Amino acid sequence: MISITGDKETQIIDHIMEKIISKSIEPEEKLPSENKLAQKYDVPRMTARKALTILEERGYIYSKQGKGRFLKQASRPIQLNLTGNTSFTDKMKQAGYDLTTTTMYCEPIAYDKKVFDLLQAGVNDSIYKIGRLRYIDREPIAIHQSFVSEAKFPTISDEGPGIVSMFDYYRSLGYKAFTSNQTFLSITFPTSDEQQQLVCGSMVPLIVVESDCLDAETNERLEHTKILYRSDKFKYDITMKEAGEG
């Protein structure tokens, strides 16, 4: 029996995480039961249950009804340049990943001063948000949101639902090369809708990348982009200093 003090849930979590990191626990291996953990750490069963629940919410373990909790298979890291003048679709295909995309929505948004100002839109103008869900090996890994002005793209409400790659769409309209002048990175946690879309728990952090896409020839801003990446599915390369996502 191990007697622990302080935040007992956190200490149980830390001890299990140490085993995961050191590979003392193998993928698909069954974890000790709530009763065994409670006895080992000299804590109430509810404390052990909360610790396991947190690990499950963070995406490290999963439950099988009537059988217990098991360590998930390690995810394959996905190399991704956060900057560059190549679209997300092209990057993933060039890297050999099995990428598929589903367009979830194309809808006008309520007035958002930041987005409207970036796209040089007036209060009464229409800005459309195009949301696409990205899958690699049939597993959802990112939500891409592109904000575009109807004034600049008059047919976006009709064409938006069929857009898989914004870069391909712009090329079809005669644009040839793209760049970006700023990229911002932050962390958030998924909403209930995003949890369902990305099939992740509420405690799995999301990497938020906000950027813009400009026509390289005229420096005209074509879109504002917000991308939500599952943090447990990517290995990030931020060494390049080129353009944004598409």
Which of 55, 71, 87 terminates a domain? The answer is: 71
126 with 216, same domain? yes
Decide if 33 is inside a domain: yes
Q: Are residues 150 and 231 in the same domain?
A: yes
Query: Do 20 and 108 belong together in one domain?
Result: no
Tell me how far apart the alpha carbons of residues 198 and 228 are, in angstroms, rounded to a whole number: 10
Q: Please name the residues in contact with 8: beta carbons below 8 A apart, sequence gap of 6 or more.
A: 41, 43, 47, 51
Could you tell me if residue 244 is inside a domain?
Answer: no
- Kindly state whether residues 54 and 107 are assigned to the same domain: no
* Residues 110 and 175 reside in one and the same domain: yes
Q: What is the mean pLDDT of residues 217-224?
A: 94
Whether residue 23 is contained in a domain is answered as yes
The answer to whether the pTM exceeds 0.85 is no
Res 243: pLDDT: 42
Q: Give yes or no: residues 210 and 134 share one domain.
A: yes
What residues contact 23, with CB distance under 8 A and at least 6 apart? none
pLDDT of 221 above 90: yes
The mean predicted confidence, pLDDT, of the chain is: 87
**pLDDT tens digits for 97-141?**
888 999 999 999 999 999 999 999 999 999 999 999 999 888 899
Q: Does 45 share its domain with 122? A: no
Amino acid (1-letter code) at residue 153: F
Are 152 and 59 members of one domain?
Answer: no
What does the pLDDT average to over 135-161?
94
**Which CATH number goes with the domain that contains 120?**
3.40.1410.10
- Domain annotation covers residue 245: no
pLDDT bucket at 75, cuts 50 / 70 / 90: low
Question: Binning pLDDT at 50, 70 and 90, where does residue 239 land?
Answer: low
Total count of domains within the chain? 2
The model's pLDDT over 204-214, given as tens digits with 9 standing for 90+, comes to 899 999 999 99
- CATH number, domain of 15, equals 1.10.10.10
pLDDT at 7: 80
- Does 137 map to a domain? yes
- Given 38, 71, 104, the domain boundary residue is 71
121 and 217 co-located in one domain: yes
Average of per-residue pLDDT across 25-31: 92
Residue 40 structural domain: 8-71
Report residue 155's pLDDT band, with 50, 70 and 90 as the boundaries: very high
